[in-house]
Amino acid sequence: MTAIDAVTSKLDKSGKIFVAGHRGLVGSAIVRRLRTVGYNNLILRSHTELDLTNQSAVKTFFSLEKPQYVILAAAKVGGIHANSTYPADFITINLQIQTNVIDSAYRYGTKKLLFLGSSCIYPKHAPQPIPESSLLTGPLEPTNEWYAIAKIAGIKMCQAYRIQHNWDAISAMPTNLYGPNDNFHPENSHVLPALMRRFHEAKVTGGKEVVVWGSGAALREFLHVDDLADSVVFLLENYSDLGHVNVGSGKEVSIKELAEMVKEVVGFEGEIVWDKSKPDGTPRKLMDCSTIVKMGWEPKISLRDGLVGTYEWYVGNVVKQ
């Protein structure tokens, strides 16, 4: 099948779709989106039911189920502390998952596979906004290079199978994500859920202030996970080519603006104290998403609306536990 054929022959809505990693932030949103638009023949397996690092188990699964489409959203993820403490786990587990799923999908007749990566694949000092062409043009951010190297290998594996086997494997690289099913752990969550948790706990305990690291000047981009899920379905239905595709909101917000917005959404009435002795991190990180925008896709959920929905989910699902 040529790349053009793959795009013009739309997905079969009755075809089996295997969503690997369906319980995570990304995978759960993709399952919601697929069901909303009429893809109901979904194959879902928890880690207990199918260990994706086990090559024999993955081969057996694919030989029996033979999914027509595969969305690879499964990964070992974590923040700076986790990446620094367990670098062998981050590179090995992610390489195992990707290699097992991609190879078995090809060998057992999957028509199309979409691999999800991360914006951390790009060099630490990539031009801003970051175009897809920045890949492998400079050194990575050292704090998460183990994860990034694995994700880069996944992109290259999809490209290699397309080149050698003319197989329809594509890759999408999302920016910073947030939304329902995010990780709100007090130590190893990302900046947005961490802020939400701290403001909520300060509100509940009657705290007068919340201390936030840095000056608040750093600029970041955030995409609601439901928008990412929408883009995944869009790419499956409309894209087939060698290059990976950036997916982001195209909008920057300073950490200071983000903190003020989260504070307002949560309803915390105390003060924000900026600890300027702590680092800001990278001054700016924005994805160039012109490739997917030119194809006709754009995000729909504003940051404020997304924060409101995420906070409602947090209160209903995390706080009550």
Which phi and psi (to 5°) does residue 303 adopt? -60, -45
Which phi and psi (to 5°) does residue 98 adopt? -65, -50
Cβ within 8 Å of residue 285, ≥6 positions away: 119, 128, 130, 175, 176, 219, 220, 221
Own/partner long-range contacts of 29-38 (Cβ < 8 Å, ≥24 apart): 29/179, 29/180, 29/181, 29/225, 29/226, 29/228, 29/229, 30/71, 30/73, 30/229, 30/232, 30/233, 32/226, 32/229, 33/226, 33/229, 33/230, 33/232, 33/233, 34/229, 34/233, 37/233, 38/13
Q: What is the DSSP letter of 214?
A: S
In angstroms, the CA 42 to CA 27 distance is 12
CA 239 to chain centre: 18
Catalytic residue among 39, 69, 106, 147, which? 147
In angstroms, the CA 144 to CA 135 distance is 15
Per DSSP (E only), the strands in 225-306 are: 245-247, 252-254, 271-275, 284-285
Largest CA distance in the chain: 62
Residue 147 is a catalytic residue: yes
Q: CB–CB of 303/253 below 8 Å? A: yes
3 state SS of 75: coil
- Catalytic sites, residue numbers: 147
